[in-house]
Amino acid sequence: MTIVVPSQVNILLGGYESREMLGIMDQLRYNGLDHSPATRTQRSFHMRVKLQLVMCSDEGQEETVTDVITLNKNSHRIEHLGLTMAEAKQLLSTLQQHLLQHQVDTFLDRCATCADCGALRKVKAHASRSFRTLFGTYKLYSPRLEHCDCIRRKTASFRPLSALLTESVAPELLYMEAKWSSLVSYGMSLEALQDFLPLEVTLDVKTVRYDTLKVAKRLEAELGDEQPCFIEGSPGDWDLLPLPDGSFKVGIDGGYVRNWFAKQHNFEVIVGKSTRAFGEDDEDKKPSSKRFGFVQTLDTKPKRRLYEVLHSQGLQMNQKITFLADGNDTLRALQLEMSPQATHILDWFHVTMRLTVLDQYGKGLVHCDAVLGKEIREKIARLKWSLWHGQVDKALGKIDDLASSIGLFQETYARFNPLIKALSELRTYIGNNRDLIPNYGQRYHQGEAIATSFVESTVNQVVSKRFCKKQQMQWSKQGAHLLLQTRVKTLDGELGAVFTRWYPDMDIEVGEIPAAA
Ligand SMILES: [Zn+2]
C-alpha cells in the first residue's frame, strides 16, 4: 500500500504559481523579483490567493490536490496587508481538518484487512469520535470492524481508531491549557487561546479547567508512596559517598486562599523553594531552584513530594541542608525525616516581623508618654538584639520585663489589650521554637542562611498571583492543590519536559518562566 504523506501547500498568487511550503517568505519575495521591470505587467490592487493542499505519495508523486482556502485581498491600505487573524484561523482550521482526515484515513486503510490472512474486515458499525486540537475540534470516522475468524480471538470486533486516539485531546492543546491556566486564571487562559487560535466555538472555560486538572492528576498519580522517613542507608554508607558539591537551602511557608465551600473562610496552602547553591570554587556549576506546593489538610504525601524535589536536585545523604520555616509543627515534621545532615532553623524573617509589630505598639506608647514610651522601644530593640544572637533565655526574660513595664499604660493606651496579647504570643512562639533559634548574627557573618525572604516571594509568586489576585477567587482544596502542581512545574520551566516524557515525539521547547509571571 502506498503511504500518502501530506507535504505541500500550493500558493497560487494572481496567476503566478509558487509551490512552496507555507511560511517560507524568501520564496515569496523571490517571486516578485523574478521579473525584470521590462516584462512586468501592471497588476490590479485586488488579488485572489488560492491555497491548495497537495498530498504526495512517499515516491513524491502528487496524489490529490485540495483547495484549502481562497483569499480575496486588497492592497489599498495598511490594514489590507498580509493575513488577518480571521484568515489565519480559517486557514489553520481548514488545513487541520484535511490533514487529520487524511491521517486517520491512512491509519484506517491499514486496518481494513486482517493482519493474519489478508482478508477484508467487515464493518460492524459506523461511528465517529471527536478530537480536540489546537486548531479546533473535529469529528473523525471511527468504525467498529469485525475480527476475521481465521484464528481464535478474545473479542469479536474492535475499533481500530482507539489505538491511535488514546485520548480525545491533542497533547499540544492539553499542554497549552495547563501552561496558561497555571499562569493566569482559567477565564483569561481561555480568552488568550481563543484570541490566537481557531477555538471560539469548541473551547469553554470548564473544559480548560477540566483539562488542566487532568494534567495535574496525572502528575499526582506519578508521585510514589508516602514513607514515614526518607533518610536512606546508615552513617557508614553516607561516609562512603563522594563528597557532594554545593549546599541546599529549603524554605517553607504558607499562604491563604479563600474557600469555595465556606466563603467566609480561608485555607492554608504551603509552598516552598529548594535551592542548591555552589561555592566560589564551583563557579561553572549552575545553581538550581525548584518550587513545590500543596494543601496541607488534603495532601497525603507531603514528605514524598519534598523528597522528590530534593532528589531531583541531587541531594546526597552526606550533604549539608538547611531548612528554614516559621514555627509550625506540621511543617517541622515534614522536614525532619529528609536528611541526617539537616539543620532546622526558625526563619529570622518571621521573628523580625513579630518584633516590627511590637515596635508599632511602641510608637503608640510614645504618644501617650514620650519618656516611658521611648524606654519601652529601647527594650524592644534590646530584645531583638538578644534574639539575633540566639540568646533565648535572655530574650524570654526581656519579654517578661516588657510585660511588667507596659502595665503603666493600662489606663492611657487604647490598644493596651492587643499589645499584651501580641507580647504573650511572642513569648509562646519563642519558647516553642527554642531549639530552632540559632545565633543568627554568627550565621549571617559566616554567610549562612538565616531567612527565607526568598520563600516570602515564592508564596507571593506561587500563591498570591494566581490564587488571590481577585478577592472573588475561591477554591476547593482539591482544585487549589492540583493547580499548584502544574503551576510549580510551569514556573520552574519543567512542564514541557513532563509532556515530552508522556508524549516522546512532541515538539515543544520551554524554559523557566520569569518571576513576573
Ligand atoms: Zn484473517
Tens-digit pLDDT profile for residues 307-327: 999 999 988 888 888 998 887
Choose the weakest-confidence range: 113-122, 275-284, 293-302: 275-284
Predicted pLDDT at 40: 58
Query: Measured in angstroms, how far is the CA atom of residue 147 from the centroid of ligand 1?
Result: 8
How does residue 17 score in pLDDT terms, banded at 50, 70 and 90?
very low
Q: Rounded to an integer, what distance in angstroms lies between the CA atom of residue 239 and that of residue 166?
A: 48
Task: Indicate the number of domains in the chain.
Answer: 5
The H or E element that residue 467 is part of is helix 465-467
Query: Measured in angstroms, how far is the CA atom of residue 153 from the centroid of ligand 1?
Result: 10
Domain boundary among 164, 185, 203: 164
Query: Measured in angstroms, how far is the CA atom of residue 463 from the centroid of ligand 1?
Result: 58
Query: Measured in angstroms, how far is the CA atom of residue 105 from the centroid of ligand 1?
Result: 21
CB atoms within 10 A of CB 515: 11
* Higher per-residue confidence, 366 vs 1: 366
Cβ neighbours for 87, distance < 8 A, ≥ 6 positions apart: 69, 71
- Sign (positive or negative) of CA dihedral 323, 328, 334, 339: positive
Tell whether 457 and 328 lie within a shared domain.
yes
Query: Measured in angstroms, how far is the CA atom of residue 126 from the centroid of ligand 1?
Result: 21
Tell whether 18 and 68 lie within a shared domain.
yes
Tell whether 261 and 124 lie within a shared domain.
no
Query: Measured in angstroms, how far is the CA atom of residue 140 from the centroid of ligand 1?
Result: 26
Tell me the pLDDT tens digit for each residue of 337-355. 888 888 899 999 889 989 9
Query: Measured in angstroms, how far is the CA atom of residue 117 from the centroid of ligand 1?
Result: 4
Predicted pLDDT at 402: 94
Strand 144-146 to 157-158 pairing: antiparallel
Query: Measured in angstroms, how far is the CA atom of residue 166 from the centroid of ligand 1?
Result: 25
How does residue 512 score in pLDDT terms, banded at 50, 70 and 90?
low
pLDDT at 67 over 80: yes
Tell whether 216 and 246 lie within a shared domain.
no
pLDDT at 200 over 90: no
pLDDT at 19 over 70: no
Query: Measured in angstroms, how far is the CA atom of residue 4 from the centroid of ligand 1?
Result: 25
Is 192 contained in some domain? yes
Which range of 5-14, 109-118, 270-279, 331-340 scores highest in mean pLDDT? It is: 109-118
Over residues 243-256, the mean pLDDT reads 85
Q: Rounded to an integer, what distance in angstroms lies between the CA atom of residue 363 and that of residue 373?
A: 7
Comparing CA positions, the residue from 303, 359, 307, 380 lying closest to residue 334 is 303
Query: Measured in angstroms, how far is the CA atom of residue 129 from the centroid of ligand 1?
Result: 26
Query: Measured in angstroms, how far is the CA atom of residue 112 from the centroid of ligand 1?
Result: 11
Is 206 contained in some domain? yes
Tell whether 15 and 150 lie within a shared domain.
no
Query: Measured in angstroms, how far is the CA atom of residue 157 from the centroid of ligand 1?
Result: 13
Query: Measured in angstroms, how far is the CA atom of residue 5 from the centroid of ligand 1?
Result: 28
pLDDT at 8 over 70: no
Q: Contact at 8 Å (CB) between 198 and 90?
A: yes
Tell whether 321 and 469 lie within a shared domain.
yes
Is 292 contained in some domain? yes
- Which whole-number Å values give the CA distances from 294 to 297, 308, 392, in the listed order? 9, 14, 32
Predicted pLDDT at 326: 82
CB atoms within 10 A of CB 163: 10
Q: Contact at 8 Å (CB) between 137 and 131?
A: yes
Q: Is 36 helix (H, G, I), strand (E, B) or coil?
A: coil
Q: Rounded to an integer, what distance in angstroms lies between the CA atom of residue 301 and that of residue 227?
A: 8
Predicted pLDDT at 259: 83
CB atoms within 10 A of CB 287: 11
Query: Measured in angstroms, how far is the CA atom of residue 162 from the centroid of ligand 1?
Result: 20
Query: Measured in angstroms, how far is the CA atom of residue 121 from the centroid of ligand 1?
Result: 8
Q: Contact at 8 Å (CB) between 283 and 296?
A: no
Over residues 148-155, the mean pLDDT reads 89
Over residues 326-335, the mean pLDDT reads 77
Predicted pLDDT at 32: 46
Q: What angle do CA 11, 13, 17 make, to 5 degrees?
A: 65
Query: Measured in angstroms, how far is the CA atom of residue 120 from the centroid of ligand 1?
Result: 8
Burial (0-12, 13-18, 19+ Cβ within 10 Å), 508: middle
Query: Do you know the residue count of the chain?
Result: 517
Tell whether 180 and 241 lie within a shared domain.
no
Query: Measured in angstroms, how far is the CA atom of residue 149 from the centroid of ligand 1?
Result: 6
Query: Measured in angstroms, how far is the CA atom of residue 143 from the centroid of ligand 1?
Result: 18
Query: Measured in angstroms, how far is the CA atom of residue 459 from the centroid of ligand 1?
Result: 62
- Percent of the residues in the chain that have a pLDDT greater than 70, as a whole number: 89
Tell whether pTM > 0.75.
yes
How does residue 3 score in pLDDT terms, banded at 50, 70 and 90?
very low
pLDDT at 217 over 80: yes
Query: Measured in angstroms, how far is the CA atom of residue 106 from the centroid of ligand 1?
Result: 20
Query: Measured in angstroms, how far is the CA atom of residue 122 from the centroid of ligand 1?
Result: 11
Q: Contact at 8 Å (CB) between 269 and 295?
A: yes
Predicted pLDDT at 11: 58
Query: Measured in angstroms, how far is the CA atom of residue 118 from the centroid of ligand 1?
Result: 6
Tell whether 374 and 431 lie within a shared domain.
yes
Is 511 contained in some domain? yes
The H or E element that residue 9 is part of is strand 4-13
Tell whether 397 and 500 lie within a shared domain.
no
Predicted pLDDT at 62: 77
Is 398 contained in some domain? yes
Provide the CA 501 distance to its chain's centre, in angstroms.
16
Is 88 contained in some domain? no
Tell me the pLDDT tens digit for each residue of 372-413. 999 999 999 999 999 999 999 999 999 999 999 998 888 889
**Rg of the chain, C-alpha, whole Å:** 33
Tell whether 59 and 46 lie within a shared domain.
yes
Query: Measured in angstroms, how far is the CA atom of residue 384 from the centroid of ligand 1?
Result: 85
Predicted pLDDT at 7: 43
Query: Measured in angstroms, how far is the CA atom of residue 154 from the centroid of ligand 1?
Result: 14
Query: Measured in angstroms, how far is the CA atom of residue 109 from the centroid of ligand 1?
Result: 16
**Where do the DSSP E strands lie in 142-246?**
144-146, 157-158
Burial (0-12, 13-18, 19+ Cβ within 10 Å), 446: exposed
Alpha helices in 315-460 (DSSP H): 329-336, 348-368, 370-388, 392-405, 416-432, 440-445, 453-458
Over residues 138-159, the mean pLDDT reads 92
CB atoms within 10 A of CB 132: 20
Query: Measured in angstroms, how far is the CA atom of residue 513 from the centroid of ligand 1?
Result: 54
Domain boundary among 54, 82, 110: 82
Query: Measured in angstroms, how far is the CA atom of residue 107 from the centroid of ligand 1?
Result: 18
Query: Measured in angstroms, how far is the CA atom of residue 214 from the centroid of ligand 1?
Result: 39
Q: Contact at 8 Å (CB) between 372 and 365?
A: yes
Query: Measured in angstroms, how far is the CA atom of residue 152 from the centroid of ligand 1?
Result: 10
Query: Measured in angstroms, how far is the CA atom of residue 130 from the centroid of ligand 1?
Result: 29
Cell numbers 500543596: residue = 294
Query: Measured in angstroms, how far is the CA atom of residue 349 from the centroid of ligand 1?
Result: 73
Predicted pLDDT at 468: 74
Cβ neighbours for 2, distance < 8 A, ≥ 6 positions apart: 57, 58, 59, 63
Q: Report residue 93 as a C-alpha cell.
A: 482550521
End-to-end CA distance of the chain: 51
How does residue 20 score in pLDDT terms, banded at 50, 70 and 90?
very low
Q: Which domain holds residue 329?
A: 235-346+452-475
Predicted pLDDT at 83: 92
Over residues 145-168, the mean pLDDT reads 92
Mean of per-residue pLDDT scores for the chain: 85
Q: Report residue 163 as a C-alpha cell.
A: 489505538
How does residue 25 score in pLDDT terms, banded at 50, 70 and 90?
very low
Q: Rounded to an integer, what distance in angstroms lies between the CA atom of residue 367 and that of residue 364?
A: 5
Is 481 contained in some domain? no
Predicted pLDDT at 9: 55
Tell whether 409 and 463 lie within a shared domain.
no
Q: Report residue 218 as a C-alpha cell.
A: 496525572
pLDDT at 246 over 70: yes
Tell whether 319 and 466 lie within a shared domain.
yes
Q: Is 145 helix (H, G, I), strand (E, B) or coil?
A: strand
Query: Measured in angstroms, how far is the CA atom of residue 435 from the centroid of ligand 1?
Result: 75
Predicted pLDDT at 12: 56
pLDDT at 4 over 70: no
Over residues 129-153, the mean pLDDT reads 93
Is 389 contained in some domain? yes
Query: Measured in angstroms, how far is the CA atom of residue 165 from the centroid of ligand 1?
Result: 24
Domain boundary among 82, 110, 139: 82
Query: Measured in angstroms, how far is the CA atom of residue 163 from the centroid of ligand 1?
Result: 19
* CATH value at residue 265: 3.30.420
